[in-house]
Structure 1
Amino acid sequence: MKLGIPVETNPAEALLHAVWEAAGNVEFYRQLIQELEAHPEEGQYSEDSEGKTHYRPGKRGIYGETYHISGIPTGEATVHVLVQLYNEERDRLVKYSSEALRAGVEERRVKLAESEARVLFGAVMAALAEADLSFQQQESVRRSIAMRLRSDPIAAS
């Protein structure tokens, strides 16, 4: 695996894949965030045997304390890095989705599917004509295909 290997695509396809990837990333981060506590655990001060005070930070939640370089809390809070990544990815998903809508990607996909359906229908009709079937048999096959396509959402998409 190397970065920068060319992959043949078209702009609409690339944009659609970017939308799908961003949507997957949003779901991934959402699941990780749901495992975080809502509020951080409080840190603890303690003294060692020499009388030195030490601070043990508490476990972060969706936000947590910020610390001075010395390790002492500053009193400010920041969001967890996963929340930052989640928010950035949601923004990216909205951006790509908006760009895809502006570019008419979904409309192009529908037109492509319609075109593919016409080609498939033409091939089926030609095969039926060549199969030396009676008119009733051809009609029966056409109705059966139409019924199956209407009842199977995967086949219909």
Structure 2
Amino acid sequence: MALDGQNVCRHHGGNAPQSLRAGERRVTEERARVLVETYGRKIETTAAEALLDEVQWTAGHVAWLRERVQEIESEAAVAATDREHPLVWGVTREKSGGEDRGTTEEAAPNVWLKLYQQERTHLVKVCSEAIRAGIEERRIKLAEQQGVLVAQAIRAILGDLDLTVEQQARVPEVVPRHLRALAS
């Protein structure tokens, strides 16, 4: 059977120092490739897009962590254990060897609660940065500009259609109705 990162077994040259080094290098390169695929890689973006993405991802993380904390809260409510509530009381240390081996339980924030609070703090920070960068104002301005372009296009289309007086009278009713349907 071939050794890790090699095409040969130990009996056919796989134990040679250069083969072992080459195999280690190939394994390391493969692990790095997998990490890049799973953890992330460089992508084309702008600072504004990256900041907005961070706001949205962080909001998703906060919502997910809130669900975990609420699950713990609801389990505690069913068990009715206020004195040793799992959000503030539990195992904080487990050690299997040495004189100080054993399990330590004490009052301390649950790890899910800590993560939730940290992510909430991060969300406030990235939202503040987005506001400071004027991202929302730019999005509103862009939407307004797009609205003006759509209105100009509609006016030009209606002008080219040579509508009858009756058809022109229906324009203020029909066009806004269809635009509202697009917005919803």
Q: TM-score, normalised by structure 2?
A: 0.62
Q: 1:25 aligns with which of 61, 65, 74?
A: 61
Tell me the number of residue pairs that the alignment of Structure 1 and Structure 2 aligns. 134
Distance 1:23 1:132, change over 3 A: same
Shift of 1:34: 0.8
* Equivalent residue, structure 1, for 2:87: 62
Q: Give 3-state SS (helix, strand or coil) of 1:66's partner.
A: strand
Q: Which has the higher strand share?
A: 1
Q: Give 3-state SS (helix, strand or coil) of 1:65's partner.
A: strand
Shift of 1:142: 3.6
Q: TM-score, normalised by structure 1?
A: 0.72
Distance 1:122 1:24, change over 3 A: same
* Equivalent residue, structure 2, for 1:82: 112
Structure 2: gaps spanning 5 or more residues: 1-35, 96-100
Matches of 2:42 and 2:150 in 1, distance apart? 34
Q: Give 3-state SS (helix, strand or coil) of 2:138's partner.
A: helix
| Backbone CA RMSD of aligned residues | 2.7
Q: 1:4 aligns with which of 27, 30, 41?
A: 41
Match of 1:65, as an amino acid? Answer: V
Matches of 1:131 and 1:68 in 2, distance apart? 79
Q: Does the 8 Å CA contact 1:149/1:155 hold for their aligned counterparts?
A: yes
Structure of greater relative contact order (alpha carbons < 8 Å, 6+ residues apart): 1
Q: How does 1:4-153 map to 2 (within 5 A)?
A: 4-7=41-44, 9-36=45-72, 37-38=75-76, 61-63=86-88, 64-67=90-93, 69=95, 70-73=101-104, 76-150=106-180, 152=181
Structure 1: gaps spanning 5 or more residues: 42-58
Matches of 2:169 and 2:138 in 1, distance apart? 32
